[in-house]
Amino acid sequence: MMESSPSRVPSIDQLPVEKIYTSPHQMRKHFDPMALRDLARSMKQEGLIQPITVRKIGNAFELVVGERRLRAAQILGWKTIDARIIDISDEDAAVKGLIENLQRTDLTPLEEARGYKQLVEPPYNLTQEAIAKRVGKSQTVVARVLVLLDLPEEIQELMPRGIITETHTRSLRKIGDRVIQIKLAQDADREKWSVKETERRVAEILSQTGEPVRLRAVKPKPEMEDPMAKFWKPVLETADQAGVKVLAVKYEGSGKWMLRIEANGTIDHRRALADFFIRLGQTIKGPLPSDLIDTVK
């Protein structure tokens, strides 16, 4: 086994194709035969532009990255192929291979979901946030793709056909009855429904069955913090001294707040209110505008 070193540059060798076997962690199950033939023609004309990546296991090699290139080489009947040999652990090899594949743009949603599932489960136990960071996507996207694996197998089998998309399934998941869910998906696939048509059919089903629409939970907005809150306690304490009563204090955001003040029980309510606002100005360490006091009635 090669000794690992952070400064070591992986070697590139001509390896026998017959001694390279694919990784058991490969998420891709379907390879388009036509696309592979196109790649093989390109490799025959231009050669292998980018070597595959492998690691040495005994007398053979396990593929880490580059299965399409390896398959194309097999189509061409190549005996050897350029390969970059790296020395990494079983776990690192699996994670690297999965991440490299997840960064591809031509994975089906289900292939992507299965890749994420491998990474969140033992022995890797990566969080959705960690996966999202490594594949360059948001955690929301990772979570949204993972829920595809909760769909009935019958719907998952339809998805590679390309009619039922991940967006279609968002509507289908609103139906709690899995039998109805499967039947609707089969109809959508057979009749090639658009996303909007699927949404309409789902709404009809829900209205007929009386099943409540599953709404996404919305987190309540936190109450706005009153920046003057630390001043209200002494203000309320001095209100009695001024002969007035503060009925309500409400912060309306953007530095605005509202006071409801009652001075009906005083002989001179205008003077009482003026006294209160003067006390308020002293409390907040600054004078209030005189026109505010003068216009109080």
Active-site positions read: 67
Q: How far apart are CA 112 and CA 106, in angstroms?
A: 10
For CA atoms 138, 140, 145, 150, the dihedral sign is positive
The answer for residues whose C-beta is within 8 angstroms of residue 57's C-beta and 6 or more apart is none
Q: How far apart are CA 179 and CA 12, in angstroms?
A: 53
* CB-CB contact of 151 with 173 (8 Å): yes
Angle between helices 90-102 and 109-120 (to 10 degrees): 150
Tell me whether residue 15 is exposed, middle or buried, using C-beta atoms within 10 angstroms of its C-beta: 0 to 12, 13 to 18, 19 or more: buried
Tokens of 143: 């979570």
Q: How far apart are CA 99 and CA 133, in angstroms?
A: 11
Q: How far apart are CA 170 and CA 215, in angstroms?
A: 11
DSSP structure class, residue 247: E
Between strands 52-57 and 80-86, the pairing is parallel
The answer for residues whose C-beta is within 8 angstroms of residue 91's C-beta and 6 or more apart is 123, 124
* CB-CB contact of 60 with 20 (8 Å): yes
